[in-house]
Structure 1
């Protein structure tokens, strides 16, 4: 029997597997500037980390009283983001090692992301992670994005596993909340260190307050083995 038992692992994409937030910030900055908001800052962008692109467009329209429709804002941002993502997106080295370790052990894996299907496909292909991560769910494919559990539950359904046997890796508070609501265990790796004290992260089974700087493939692997033994 596998040392991981029936465990499956579901990865968030942006800020967890890959450092794509700079690209999302630049795409959003350019879109908002085109629609009359010239001073969108990185600090403002951090408020939307972990929020789906669709929900972000809804919030922008409300916050800045934009004349453009939500669909237009979403399309503009996604177009710009895809251009940036295809040019350069970096997978976190320890995350890549972790994925490779799990693949060697035959652990079922999926990606569940707030990004569009096109963005997910472009990033996984560009980083080579698509060789290991073939089950993919976008928030565009489910009724509600994070913090609702829909995207994680759909990933479990596609993997053919029960939510209680899933461990989620997440960098954002809405994602940690979604994992908890889905009845899944969670390894939280906060992208924004200042947000590590958010109540949503308190529900995580393993919280790495230092974010990616505190994450190692071997450490996560050993934690999963212990988690499987105790489940």
Structure 2
């Protein structure tokens, strides 16, 4: 029996558990260059933080007149991304500590991400997080991506948990909106700290405006009454 009562924890992956955005940026930059010849900057990339790959690529396909289907673009992006992710994905140290402490306490946990299942599995395996995080849901497996609550509700069902008993850890505004829509508590750790004033974060149960520079596992557990 967990000492944390009925609490279950759901983690976003990219930008929350791991700093994968540099890999997504490089994969996206190369894809756009090959298909459109367009330049893609880090500032451009920040606009898509927290939005699923499917939605992003569908938008690019419309805007830039790309002939390939969304499915083909997703496969291409995943291939590029996984080549980078397997070699260099950094886990935020305090997040690793939090996962380990929750695992030791027997707290049910899941990953709910806008990335593909293949990408999620590769990152969890490559970082060793798969030892503690064995349940996952990809946005490609639910009808709607964030900011719709579907992926979080699917994760709660996977954990056999009530939404009100779930705490979501998120780095992006669409994810914070999705957590609230799912009826879950939310710890917001903005990956892009300039977005900390986004109204989507205003109702988070804990907002760390400095992002991971402000985050500690101990503080998260204490503020949420989990220790």
Q: What's the TM-score once normalised by structure 2's chain length?
A: 0.97
- 2:96 is aligned to 96
> C-alpha offsets along residues 37-82 of structure 1, whole Å, 9 cap, x if unaligned?
3311110111110011111101111222323322222111111001
- 1:62 is aligned to 62
Query: Quick check: 2:3–2:106 contact (8 Å CA) kept in 1?
Result: no
Query: Quick check: 1:142–1:150 contact (8 Å CA) kept in 2?
Result: yes
- 1:116 is aligned to 116
Query: Quick check: 1:4–1:224 contact (8 Å CA) kept in 2?
Result: no
- 2:33 is aligned to 33
- 2:202 is aligned to 202
Query: Quick check: 1:208–1:215 contact (8 Å CA) kept in 2?
Result: yes
> C-alpha offsets along residues 93-131 of structure 1, whole Å, 9 cap, x if unaligned?
000000011111111100000000000000000000000
SS at match of 1:35: helix
- 2:71 is aligned to 71
Query: Quick check: 2:185–2:204 contact (8 Å CA) kept in 1?
Result: yes
Distance 2:99 2:12 in 1: 12
Unaligned runs of 5+ in 1: none
- 1:51 is aligned to 51
Residue 8 (str. 1) matches residue 8 (str. 2):
yes
Query: Quick check: 1:186–1:206 contact (8 Å CA) kept in 2?
Result: yes
- 1:222 is aligned to 222
Q: How far off its partner does 1:2 sit?
A: 4.7
Distance 1:37 1:9 in 2: 42
Q: Which runs of 4+ in 1 moved over 3 A?
A: none
Q: How far off its partner does 1:3 sit?
A: 4.3
- 2:130 is aligned to 130
- 2:170 is aligned to 170
| Count of residues in Structure 1 that have an aligned counterpart in Structure 2 | 227
Higher helix share: 1
Distance 1:208 1:221 in 2: 14
Distance 1:224 1:201 in 2: 16
> C-alpha offsets along residues 171-227 of structure 1, whole Å, 9 cap, x if unaligned?
00000000000000000000001111111111211100000000001111112326x
- 1:106 is aligned to 106
Unaligned runs of 5+ in 2: none
Query: Quick check: 1:152–1:179 contact (8 Å CA) kept in 2?
Result: yes
SS at match of 1:10: strand
SS at match of 1:118: helix
Query: Quick check: 1:16–1:169 contact (8 Å CA) kept in 2?
Result: yes
